[in-house]
Amino acid sequence: MSEQGLAEGARDLVLDSAAEPGVRPPGGRAHRIPKIRGRAQEVAAMTTWRRWQDWVVVGLGVITVLTPFVFGETAQTVAASSAYVLGVLIALAGLLNAAMSKAGGLELIPAVLAVVLFVSPFAFGFTGVTALAWSAYIIAILVVLAVGSLFVMQTRRATA
């Protein structure tokens, strides 16, 4: 068969495979992409480095590190050092979760660190340093809410 014959055969295939108006072509990728709408679309769009919950956790960790400086409580070594250590750990856990392509079991790490942050004024005895104690309580609650919202959104996606 000549090259001209091959070209005519290919042209016939292209013409035969052209879709009529209102008819979907059988091949290609379009038939495999599911249509996602609403809340499920929002959850499906959350991939690596895009989940807002992870960035909220990182921000709250940074705020925890900065609170001794903001309130001028750096002289309180136990309170300040617990804020530094737990703030850095929470921020690193948030970055680790942001780097993961799927949210999973590692989301519990910031939640556990938040519980430790909440209990730290009682455990380390700095409830008298009210500014750092209250900031620990509030930031811990916000971290747990951010992580919890991710789990709620995952559950909705599974049932959608």
pLDDT (tens digit per residue) in 27-81: 555 555 555 565 555 555 556 678 888 999 999 999 999 999 999 999 999 999 9
In terms of domains, do 155 and 119 share one? Answer: yes
Domain count for the chain, please give it: 2
What's the pLDDT at 101?
74
Give the integer Cα–Cα distance in Å for 143 and 54: 9
Q: Which domain holds residue 11?
A: 3-36
Q: What is the pTM of this model?
A: 0.68
Q: Is the pLDDT of residue 157 over 80?
A: no
In terms of domains, do 32 and 56 share one? Answer: no
DSSP H helix total and E strand total for the chain: 6, 0
In terms of domains, do 12 and 50 share one? Answer: no
First CA to last CA across the chain, in angstroms? Answer: 54
